[in-house]
Amino acid sequence: MALLHQFQLRNGTVTYRSKFLQSNSYLTNRQHNRIVVSEFGTLAMPDPCKNVFERFMSHFDTPKPSDNASVSYVVYKGDYYVSSENTFMYKVDPETLETKEKVDWSKFIAVNGATAHPHYASDGTTYNMGNSYGKHGTRYNIIEIPPQKSNCSDTLEGAKVLCSIAPMDKMKPSYYHSFGMSENYIVFIEQPIKLNLMRIITSKFRGKPISEGINWEPQHNTRFHVVNKHTGEVLPGQWYSKPFATFHQINAFEDHGCVVLDLCCQDDGKTLATYKLQNMRRSGVDLYQVYNSVSRTFPRRFVLPLNMSSDAPVGKNLNPLPYTLAKAVKDADGKVWCTHENLHPEGFEIFGGLEFPQINYSQYSGKKYRYFYGCGFRHFIGDSLMKVDVETKNFKIWQEEGSYPSEPVFVPVPNATAEDNGVILSVVISPDENRSAFLLVLDAETFKELGRAEVPVEMPYGFHGIFRSH
Question: How confident is the model over 91-116, as pLDDT tens digits?
Answer: 999 999 999 999 999 999 999 889 99
What value does the mean pLDDT take over residues 48-52? 50
Bridge partners, residue 228, by sequence: 185
Q: pLDDT band at 202, cuts 50/70/90? A: confident
Return all residues near 421 (Cβ < 8 A) that are at least 6 apart: 412, 413, 444, 445
Q: Is the confidence at residue 59, as pLDDT, over 80?
A: no
Q: Is the confidence at residue 87, as pLDDT, over 80?
A: yes
Question: How confident is the model over 372-409, as pLDDT tens digits?
Answer: 999 998 887 889 999 999 999 999 999 999 999 999 99
Q: Is the confidence at residue 7, as pLDDT, over 80?
A: yes
Q: Tell me what percent of the residues of the chain surpass a pLDDT of 70.
A: 93
Q: Is the confidence at residue 53, as pLDDT, over 80?
A: no
What value does the mean pLDDT take over residues 120-127? 95
Q: Is the confidence at residue 41, as pLDDT, over 70?
A: no
29 phi, psi to nearest 5 deg = -65, -40
Question: How confident is the model over 151-187, as pLDDT tens digits?
Answer: 888 899 999 999 999 999 888 999 999 999 999 999 9
Say if residue 198 is exposed, middle or buried (CB neighbours under 10 Å; 0-12, 13-18, 19+): exposed
Q: Which of 170, 210, 166 is nearest to 188 (CA)?
A: 166
Bridge partners, residue 451, by sequence: 441
Q: Tell me what percent of the residues of the chain surpass a pLDDT of 90.
A: 64
Q: pLDDT band at 193, cuts 50/70/90? A: very high
pLDDT at 57: 41
Instruction: Kindly report the average pLDDT of the chain as a whole number.
Output: 89
Cα(171)–Cα(245) distance, rounded to whole angstroms?
19
Strand order in the sheet with 119-120: 119-120, 126-134, 137-145, 160-165
* Distance spanning both ends of the chain, measured CA to CA: 28
Question: How confident is the model over 319-358, as pLDDT tens digits?
Answer: 999 999 999 999 999 999 999 999 999 888 888 899 999 9
* HSE, side-chain direction, 13 A CA sphere, residue 185: 23
pLDDT at 136: 72
